[in-house]
Structure 1
Amino acid sequence: MPKTPLPLHRIQKPPMTPQRLRRLMLIASLVLLAVCWTVLAMLKPATQGKIVLTAGAPGGIYYNYAERYAQILKRDGITLDIRSSSGSVENFQRLREEDNEFQVGFIQSGTGNSEQAPGIQTIAAISYEPIWVFYQGAATFDRLSQLRGKRISLGLPGSGLRIVANDLLTENGITTNNSTLVELNGSTAYEQLLNNKIDAAFFIGRADSELIHTLLNSGIKLMSFSQADAMVQKFPSLSKITYPRGATSLINDKPSHDVTLLAATAMLVSKESLHPALAYLLLDAANVIHNAPDFFTPRNYFPNQNIEDFAISDETRRYFKSGRPFLQRYLPFWLANFIERRFTILLPFIAVLFGLIQAVPRIYEASMKKRLVVWYKEIHLLEEEIWNTDAPSEEKLTEWHNEIEEIDSNANQIDIPQRYYGDIYALKQAIRVVRDRISEAAHQREITTTSPSPQ
């Protein structure tokens, strides 16, 4: 059974001329940009103008650091909200809790680790915190185990010093069962040492801090750790450092020999949710504050990422490898952050637009081809019917003739770019072939009808 031919007189769509294509692309681009900008206007700012930092006790080294950070961050329009605490332990507890306002803080190495707080990351190791053990008595001590049976101050509860001192003493066999362990702040411990109310005390702090400077000039003995190498192996959060001969006083040759000390490392840490742009600002501030040399480290030793208590932030790794992000090197922070923010959000839209730009020519070409394919289908169906009809009637021949002329007329009205003229001529050639077939069928019918009938 012959297939029903497609209807003729198809409505041709307006041609997709280059000018019309450019207009459509311009309109699409403007609409896309308008949508992007609307989304941007509805979004919250990428960074907040305030960082909440948990420091330490007012007047302490951590609190003093925080005040210096605040001054530097203020230049970029960031307010550092400094919150006091009892020390490293409380700072750690605050930052390990997800649902509170604390974002950044100072923690002493050995206070915690990534297993206990996977949501904390290290921004930078910022300084050594020397551990000093001062003691009274005629004997010279160079091992903690020699303090067995003595009255010893460990530091205040909640402080990083308290944790380190207790761990070190326990490892050396000193406990509350065989010694008197008390918890005193630095000033009180110093006074009780002077008055022989205690025999030894742990202190922590820089050599140039007021309390340590006073102790070094007081005549109270300072322990040099003869077993420091073994102790840092047992306690990886500690480092071995040397307080050099004459560092307290060259004139008086104090101390009269190099003193081997242990040191914890102060770390600037944050929650993983801290915005990367703020992390870079904190790293810049750390580089200004902590890169000076001292008795224990050369210039630019700190800040660094040589610490393993918590995971190192991605921003820290990039910062120490290649410095600040490109835009932040040359533009003010707010402008660099604005551009980075917009670029990050616009990037998916740009990718979509790029895909559309690449797709439009293919769509356009398919549209042009479709205009020709419609008439090729008409020709194919007509030709198929001609081949399947053995003896067409006069009416059928007339119908075929009208159809092919209708197709030819419509083909002449197709408006397509010059590059597709070859396809038009190929279509006309196909029309000519079918027209010849119709003429041949008509001629064959004429021969058949005029031939005499057999007698």
Structure 2
Amino acid sequence: MHRVLKDLKIMLLANLWIVPVLAALIGAVFYFVAPPPPMSARMATGAEGGGYRIFAEKLKQELAKQGFELTLLPSAGSRDNLERLLAKDSRVEIALVQSGLERQLDAADHARLHSLGAVYQEPLWLFYRSGIDLERIADLLPLRLALGSAGSGTLAATEAILGANAITPEQYPPSWQATGGGKTASALMAGELDAAFFVGPAENALVQQLAAHPDLSLATFRRAAAYEARLPFFKRVEVNEGLLNLAQNSPPKDIITLSPVATLVVNRDFHPGLVPLFLEASREVMKHGTLLDKAGTFPSAEPRTFALSSDAEHYYKSGLPLLQRYLPFRIASLADRYIILLIPLLVVLIPLLKAVGPLYRWRIRARIYRWYKYLRDIDRQLDAGTLPDRLDAEVERLEQLEDELAKVEVPLSYSNELYELHVHLRYVIERLRTLQKRRATASDSVG
């Protein structure tokens, strides 16, 4: 056992050169590897109590299970969210944005944003006071109408619907208001408004409250196909009788409405490594579906608004990265990055490790063979006849070398070569002593 440990020590000492080499390679990996994804992000949502906020709260809870902190920042709505994402000193990296708003951006701003996909439908609801004859959009012109608050997706959707009917903002009557939210709903129920547009999921508390009100009716978009043809970000949605409120049987008959989708949009500050984490959390939020969305429908790569992130594209095709299926996100994301860099590292290490054996043999034998150089020099001097004047000094030097050689340590597998060197050194010493004796004898004879 002692001998094995001794051999191991020799081997380690002989290969110490590999330590700085490995340190340099590992240092290069850490230097060049992409930094790990942050464990926090900021998200623009919408007004308190709105559909965006409710979804974002659920998303935050799912992300917290992975130790991720999502900060939610309230906003005026979709338009405001887009402006925040594009701001020079943006305080958000991700936001919910209503499909269709991307058409309002120029090419440069459009290219700065990417979509992670749609997460749910957010239908457009047109509630109006019962008793009003409302057959077509043009019938809204004489009414007291709420279009949706400034900066909201509701206002954007309303303007698109009105524009398709050749009603431009310049033609809006004074009785139309750019308001929305809870105050607008209260005004509608109190009779202070005749009609109002709202955008949000069917489960939204405001939509449910309006649907249950006995003095309100829900408009149907009979020409939904015509709107879809002109406004492709809208999709026809059928709302069946009683879907919104069974007890109140609201709506009292099947109606048709139009729906954009809520999409997750990110700017260039959003770390791409977070994409599968957010999409998987969104899938968990939407796994049971909604009143209008079947389970497993969202998140979805379609419809495409902004260019789909390449990482999102990979998620929709292949699901979660392999390691993230079995490991916590923080560990898996680090491992993913280092595994990628391990490939070129292994390319360098394999030939390096192959060189360890030959280099090790060379270093061990060098301990032995360096003595042969001196023995060969003596042989050459003997052959040339130039040694006799220094015989005594050479014998003394060789005996000193023999003492030094006795202290040389080599692994057991190389002991035979060490012993052969001892034999050869002793042989040369004996030759020189024989030569000494001859010289002494010759000197006595002369005397």
Where does 1:261-340 land on structure 2 (aligned, <5 Å)? 261-340=257-336
How far has the Cα of 1:340 moved from its partner? 1.7
How far has the Cα of 1:70 moved from its partner? 1.8
Quote the Cα distance in structure 2 between the aligned partners of 1:148 and 1:173: 12
Normalised to the residue count of structure 2, the TM-score between the two structures is 0.69
Could you tell me whether the CA contact under 8 Å between 1:154 and 1:184 is conserved in 2? yes
Note closer, same or farther for the CA distance 1:29–1:76 as it changes in structure 2 (3 Å cut).
farther
Could you tell me whether the CA contact under 8 Å between 1:145 and 1:173 is conserved in 2? no
Tell me which amino acid in the other structure corresponds to 1:154: L
Quote the Cα distance in structure 2 between the aligned partners of 1:304 and 1:44: 28
The answer for the alignment partner of 2:191 in structure 1 is 196
The answer for the alignment partner of 1:117 in structure 2 is 110
Note closer, same or farther for the CA distance 1:27–1:230 as it changes in structure 2 (3 Å cut).
farther
Which string of whole-angstrom CA distances, capped at 9 and with x for unpartnered residues, describes residues 374-426 of structure 1? xxxxxxxxxxxxxxxxxxxxxxxxxxxxxxxxxxxxxxxxxxxxxxxxxxxxx
Could you tell me whether the CA contact under 8 Å between 1:124 and 1:267 is conserved in 2? yes
Could you tell me whether the CA contact under 8 Å between 1:36 and 1:346 is conserved in 2? no
The answer for the alignment partner of 1:177 in structure 2 is 171
Where does 1:201-280 land on structure 2 (aligned, <5 Å)? 201-219=196-214, 220-250=216-246, 253-280=249-276
The answer for the alignment partner of 2:58 in structure 1 is 68
Identity %: 29
How far has the Cα of 1:172 moved from its partner? 1.4
Tell me which amino acid in the other structure corresponds to 1:242: E
Quote the Cα distance in structure 2 between the aligned partners of 1:212 and 1:34: 63
Could you tell me whether the CA contact under 8 Å between 2:124 and 2:259 is conserved in 1? yes
Normalised to the residue count of structure 1, the TM-score between the two structures is 0.68
Tell me which amino acid in the other structure corresponds to 2:182: S
Quote the Cα distance in structure 1 between the aligned partners of 2:184 and 2:162: 17
Tell me which amino acid in the other structure corresponds to 2:36: A
Note closer, same or farther for the CA distance 1:321–1:246 as it changes in structure 2 (3 Å cut).
same
Structure 1: where are the runs of 5+ without partners?
1-21, 362-455
Quote the Cα distance in structure 1 between the aligned partners of 2:18 and 2:195: 76
Tell me which amino acid in the other structure corresponds to 2:313: R
The answer for the alignment partner of 1:186 in structure 2 is 181
Quote the Cα distance in structure 1 between the aligned partners of 2:51 and 2:345: 48
How far has the Cα of 1:251 moved from its partner? 5.3
> 3-state DSSP class of the match of 1:203?
strand
How far has the Cα of 1:262 moved from its partner? 0.6
Could you tell me whether the CA contact under 8 Å between 2:62 and 2:285 is conserved in 1? no
Are positions 1:133 and 2:130 aligned together?
no
Note closer, same or farther for the CA distance 1:335–1:248 as it changes in structure 2 (3 Å cut).
closer
Note closer, same or farther for the CA distance 1:25–1:232 as it changes in structure 2 (3 Å cut).
farther
Note closer, same or farther for the CA distance 1:75–1:254 as it changes in structure 2 (3 Å cut).
closer
State which drifts further: 113-122 or 325-334: 113-122
Structure 2: where are the runs of 5+ without partners?
1-10, 358-447
Note closer, same or farther for the CA distance 1:333–1:25 as it changes in structure 2 (3 Å cut).
farther
How far has the Cα of 1:178 moved from its partner? 5.7
> 3-state DSSP class of the match of 2:335?
helix
> 3-state DSSP class of the match of 2:111?
coil
Quote the Cα distance in structure 1 between the aligned partners of 2:323 and 2:248: 53
Which string of whole-angstrom CA distances, capped at 9 and with x for unpartnered residues, describes residues 276-331 of structure 1? 32111101100001232333221111111112210111122211211111111112
How far has the Cα of 1:44 moved from its partner? 7.8
Note closer, same or farther for the CA distance 1:249–1:81 as it changes in structure 2 (3 Å cut).
closer
> 3-state DSSP class of the match of 1:312?
coil
How far has the Cα of 1:28 moved from its partner? 6.8
Quote the Cα distance in structure 2 between the aligned partners of 1:226 and 1:314: 38
Where does 1:33-44 land on structure 2 (aligned, <5 Å)? 33-40=22-29
The answer for the alignment partner of 2:159 in structure 1 is 166
Quote the Cα distance in structure 1 between the aligned partners of 2:95 and 2:14: 52
Tell me which amino acid in the other structure corresponds to 1:108: Q
The answer for the alignment partner of 1:417 in structure 2 is none
Quote the Cα distance in structure 2 between the aligned partners of 1:142 and 1:296: 24
